[in-house]
Amino acid sequence: MMALQELLGDFMVRAALAGLGVALAAAPLGCFVVWRRMAYFGEATAHAAVLGVALALALDLPLAPGVLAVSLVMALSIAALSRRGHAMDTLLGVFAHSTLAFGLVAVSFLPGVRLDLMAYLFGDILAVSRGDLVVIWGGALMVCTLILWRWSALLTATLNPDLAHASDIDPRREQLVLTLALALVVAVAIKVVGALLIAAMLILPAAAARPFSRTPEGMALVAALFGSIAALGGLVVSWHLDTPTGPTIVCLAAVLFAGSALGARGRAASPR
């Protein structure tokens, strides 16, 4: 126990564990985001996290519940309005920018609160505490458990809604499961990569994994590997180059995606 306490006392170890937790939570969910073309939906949910931060501070609540509540309400509101005939891309644009703006304005009205907005917009993984680790890994386990529990139904609803109906699977219910999982990821990832970069960590590892995968399960595993490499590698690069850690992690994920795309093009062009 003492050895574990001494190990977690090192801020770099805590940062590495936090990055791994976010990568493992985002990997399977990111695959569904890519398959369903929900990239902008993820971004809108992440932007709502800033309003959740303001709500948590105003009510003197822990950060994660406030972010989770606002992200979930925003996502459910978009889903409800889209079923009433509103264009999805318009709704996402309205909610993404308005919630971010209202969140930034709301924070400025909080009396006596000193807040580093850059930490919530772009992450501050080096400031992760032991309590933050509990929240991050608890949320990651909840997301992974939820996805594993509903994996078959989610996959069927994603690939063929008609087949899902025939199999007595409600696509709207599975959409709600993804919405809940997405809100959970946003709540646990905001401390690591920030509200503006969460969508990138969802999309880039999954997109990079696609050319190397023959099955959906394989893509989720490769996405988790790429996300972990980006988190740990970005942490090391940031340390040596003295660059912002959250953006550096996303930059490395982008490099992995570029390498994956070039490798896939090379294999397609090579003679058999």
Higher pLDDT, 57 or 6: 57
Q: State the average pLDDT over residues 103-123.
A: 73
Residue 190 pLDDT > 60: yes
Residue 271's pLDDT is what? 56
> Read out DSSP for 17-80?
HHHHHHHHHHHHHHHHHHHTT-HHHHHHHHHHHHHHHHHHHHTT--HHHHHHHHHHHHHHHHHH
Q: Is CATH 1.10.3470.10 the classification given to domain 2-196?
A: yes
Each residue's pLDDT tens digit, 34-91: 888 877 777 788 888 888 888 887 777 777 788 888 888 887 787 777 777 667 778 7
Q: Is the pLDDT of residue 99 over 70?
A: yes
Question: How far apart are alpha carbons 193 and 187 in whole angstroms?
Answer: 11
Among the listed residues 102, 88, 5, 93, the one whose alpha carbon sits nearest the alpha carbon of residue 51 = 102
Position with higher pLDDT, 62 vs 141 = 141
**Separation of alpha carbons 187 and 81, rounded Å:** 23
CB 53 within 8 A of CB 103: yes
The two structure tokens encoding residue 121: 């917009």
Question: pLDDT tens digit string along 215-241?
Answer: 999 999 999 999 999 999 999 999 888
Q: Is 70 exceeded by the pLDDT of residue 212?
A: yes
Start-to-end CA span in the chain (Å): 56
Predicted model pTM: 0.84
Sequence ranges of the domains in the chain: 2-196
Residue 166, CA atoms < 13 Å, CB-side half-sphere = 5
pLDDT value, residue 4: 46
Burial readout 189-221 (b: 16 or more C-beta within 10 A, e: otherwise) = bbbbbbbbbbbbbbbbbbbbbbbbbeebeebbb
The whole-chain average pLDDT of the chain stands at 82
Could you give the angle at which helices 130-149 and 171-189 cross, rounded to 10 degrees?
Answer: 160
Q: Using the predicted structure, report yes or no on whether residue 268 has a pLDDT greater than 70.
A: no
